[in-house]
Structure 1
Amino acid sequence: MNPSMDTPSDTDSLLAVLEKDEWFSSCAIELKRALIRDAKMHDYAAGEALYREGEFARHALFCVIEGAVRLSSSLHDGTPSLLVYLEPCHWFGDISLIDGRPYIRDAIADVDTRILCVPMQPFTQWLDHNPRHWRDIARLSINKLRVAYQVIGEPGALHHRLARRLWLMAQGFGSRTQTPSLQLNVSQEHLAQMMGTTRQSINAALARLEGLGLVVQGYRTIELRDLKSLLDHANRLDVEGPADRS
């Protein structure tokens, strides 16, 4: 399916939707309006690529409006590696905006998805004339770097690490810490790719968390019962023996 392209017709309504993201809501109104001024809405079918690794960046930023996007790549043996699973209203694409280099991951619509796409040239020209707002773009990237540091070398058995990852996903990887989502629409296969393990191992770890009353599993959904208890479990490493890294 070729993406449809529509200019957002109701600026105030779109701003209200985008305010759900904590980075966007913290930006000055001038930057918010610059982001949507030349932006287009693109519709993608499930499995369709927004862009591929190595492609020249035509857009400065993207924001998930409806649906979900997988940022992924393939390992040397061809095994898919899922970096992150993005739901509304998460912004991404900032690395290529900052360094001007090609995309470093594939961005794939996981379900039928609507994306707000900010074109590169007019937005970078606006930033160059309003350089103080480059700091806001840097904040967007730094927020993601902070999350990355939290998951690199995570300690504990798989069920501990999975509990932390689910907690981070509930908060949109830092984009909605004030209004976390207690229902995640993600498959066991995607969790396995994200955690670098097998679906069978994820199934066992989820069963462990479900047995503890922390989650309830559905079809491609995971309901989180209590975020504080989930995080407490992720940090409760002293009750285990040697960490199971499977």
Structure 2
Amino acid sequence: MDTPVDINSLLADLDKDEWFSSCADELKRALVRDAKVHRLLAGEALYRDGEFAKHALFCVIGGAIRLSSSLHDGTPSLLVYLEPCHWFGDISLIDGQPYIRDAIADIDAQILCVPMQSFTQWLEQNPKHWRDIARLSINKLRVAYQVIGEPGALQHRLARRLWLMAHGFGSRMHSPSMQLSVSQEHLAQMMGSTRQSINAALAKLEGLGLLSQGYKSIDLTNLERLLNHANRLDVDDLVDRP
């Protein structure tokens, strides 16, 4: 179900995202002017891999979205876990191709949907703002380079991934979240590991006082120490990659 938005109150909430807050006011208003809030139930798809792109951009304003796909053997692969106020969908906006990955509500979610036609027409009339769209994509590319071929044992790579999640994968570097709502199963899919290995790695991090575990949640205790641990490499780490 789509509902209209209160532009002024929404702008204040969206400014929590560092990319959005750095954009010019005219771009901010263009993004929300024709946007609608789409409500999803847990497990419901916002879009599927290969689907024609009807929206230019999306932003999570409540709940959480999983961007995932299936490997050749049918095993689910979780690319990223998105929480408020994370923007996504920029790849299809830039190249005009169908969506990649599946976007699934992990819990009941509210997603701001920016119509493709009206927003691309606005960009054609205001081409200087394409640079801001490029910045959004480049920020994600920087994060992708950080996680591709991560060195270290699983506990160190997991510590780095939790640090990135706390910072919204780059969207809230100055206001990180110390509590992450994510299951061990989702972490396993994200890390290309098994739930058992993730459980063991989390137990090691918990034993070091870096986090505490709850039901489908992780409380981080010290982000600086977590990152320091992520960047620590022992000789055995180079072969310990479950």
TM-score normalized by structure 2?
0.99
Structure 1 partner of 2:4: 7
Q: What is the letter of the counterpart of residue 24 of structure 1?
A: F
1:12 CA drift (Å): 1.4
Q: Distance in 2 between matches of 1:241 and 1:40?
A: 47
Aligned in 2, Cα 1:241/1:166: closer, same or farther, shift over 3 Å?
closer
Q: Distance in 1 between matches of 2:11 and 2:57?
A: 16
Structure 2 spans left out of the alignment, 5+ residues: none
Aligned in 2, Cα 1:119/1:93: closer, same or farther, shift over 3 Å?
same
- What is the DSSP-based 3-state SS (H/G/I as helix, E as strand, rest coil) of the residue aligned with 1:107? strand
* Residues 182-222 of structure 1: per-residue CA shift (max 9 Å, x gap): 00000000000000000000000000000000000000000
- What is the DSSP-based 3-state SS (H/G/I as helix, E as strand, rest coil) of the residue aligned with 1:33? helix
Say yes or no: does 1:20 pair with 2:16.
yes
Structure 1 partner of 2:201: 205
Structure 2 partner of 1:34: 30
Of 181, 185, 191, which residue of structure 1 is paired with 2:187?
191
Aligned in 2, Cα 1:116/1:75: closer, same or farther, shift over 3 Å?
same
Structure 1 spans left out of the alignment, 5+ residues: none
Q: Is the 8 A contact 2:78 2:186 kept in 1?
A: yes
Q: Is the 8 A contact 1:155 1:243 kept in 2?
A: no
Q: What is the letter of the counterpart of residue 5 of structure 1?
A: D
* Residues 151-200 of structure 1: per-residue CA shift (max 9 Å, x gap): 00000000000000000000000000000000000000000000000000
Structure 1 partner of 2:81: 85
Q: Distance in 2 between matches of 1:239 and 1:214?
A: 22
Q: Percent identity?
A: 79
Q: Is the 8 A contact 2:17 2:86 kept in 1?
A: yes
Of 103, 108, 112, which residue of structure 2 is paired with 1:112?
108
* Residues 56-114 of structure 1: per-residue CA shift (max 9 Å, x gap): 00000000000000000000000000000000000000000000000110000000000
1:241 CA drift (Å): 4.8
How many residue pairs end up in the alignment? 242
1:239 CA drift (Å): 6.4
Root mean square deviation, CA, Å: 0.8
Q: What is the letter of the counterpart of residue 191 of structure 2?
A: M
Of 145, 154, 163, which residue of structure 1 is paired with 2:159?
163
Say yes or no: does 1:125 pair with 2:107.
no
Q: Is the 8 A contact 1:61 1:91 kept in 2?
A: yes
